[in-house]
């Protein structure tokens, strides 16, 4: 859309970090206890980590700080909060974007007590739009365990397409599991109103 003036630019600016249900904001120190708790929960770690293992709270906290600092131009990280209550829901990150490919990888973590009500879908949609509209990305990919059917459904709902399978790419419960590569492309992206 071509902006005809300041009002159009400000209208866009007022929505670039707000979805239907969630808002993206900078990480705050008060976010860390919940983020650390969610990351360290083995029941959920098996869905997002290559190996389930306890890590000290300090190192997990520093990991989230690093993801959120965005020290390189091709990286951003945000806390995800409920638009109405401002309650922390999770964290989203885009990383690895470089010229000339302008491709980044998406990572998302929604807290266990906030799963299944649409917050993750809204957060993925919002960050994907941000990647295309603000970072100038051409491609955003996500890698998801093949057994994580809930996450795969979220990504498909938002517009990601399955590209292929990395066979036996992850190891849990004494055996190897496939990993599905999904992506969204800027030219195929339909921004939400």
Exposure of 139 by Cβ count < 10 A (0-12 exposed, 13-18 middle, 19+ buried)?
A: middle
In the predicted model, what is the mean pLDDT of the chain?
92
Cα 62 to Cα 94: distance, rounded to the nearest angstrom: 17
**pLDDT tens-digit readout, 3-27:** 888 988 998 888 899 999 999 999 9
**pLDDT tens-digit readout, 127-150:** 999 999 999 999 999 999 999 999
> What 3-state class would DSSP assign to 30?
helix
Instruction: Of 148, 156, 149, 144, give the one whose Cα is nearest residue 184.
Output: 156
Exposure of 37 by Cβ count < 10 A (0-12 exposed, 13-18 middle, 19+ buried)?
A: middle
Per-residue model confidence (pLDDT) at position 44: 86
Per-residue model confidence (pLDDT) at position 192: 62
The fold for domain 6-139 equals: Aminopeptidase (3.40.630)
83 pLDDT higher than 60: yes
191 pLDDT higher than 90: no
> What 3-state class would DSSP assign to 174?
coil
What is the pTM assigned to this prediction? Answer: 0.89
Contacts of 122 (CB under 8 A, 6+ apart): 19, 20, 21, 22
Q: By percentage, how much of the chain surpasses pLDDT 70? A: 98
Indicate the domain borders of the chain: 6-139
49 pLDDT higher than 80: no
């Amino acid at each position: 859309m071509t902006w005809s003036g300041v009002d159009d630019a400000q209208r866009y600016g007022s929505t670039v970090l707000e979805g239907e249900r969630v808002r993206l904001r900078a990480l705050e120190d008060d976010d860390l206890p919940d983020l650390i708790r969610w990351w360290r929960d083995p029941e959920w770690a098996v869905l997002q980590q290559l190996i389930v293992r306890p890590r000290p709270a300090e190192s997990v906290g520093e990991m989230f700080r690093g993801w959120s600092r965005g020290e390189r131009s091709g990286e951003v990280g945000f806390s995800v909060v409920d638009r109405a209550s401002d309650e922390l829901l999770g964290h989203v990150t885009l990383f690895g974007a470089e010229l000339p490919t302008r491709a980044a990888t998406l990572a998302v973590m929604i807290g266990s007590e906030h799963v299944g009500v649409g917050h993750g879908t809204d957060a993925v949609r919002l960050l994907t739009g941000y990647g295309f509209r603000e970072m100038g990305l051409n491609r955003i990919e996500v890698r998801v365990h093949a057994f994580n059917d809930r996450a795969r459904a979220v990504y498909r709902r938002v517009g990601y397409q399955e590209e292929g399978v990395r066979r036996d790419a992850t190891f849990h419960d004494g055996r190897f599991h496939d990993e599905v590569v999904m992506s969204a492309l800027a030219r195929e992206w339909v921004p939400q109103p």
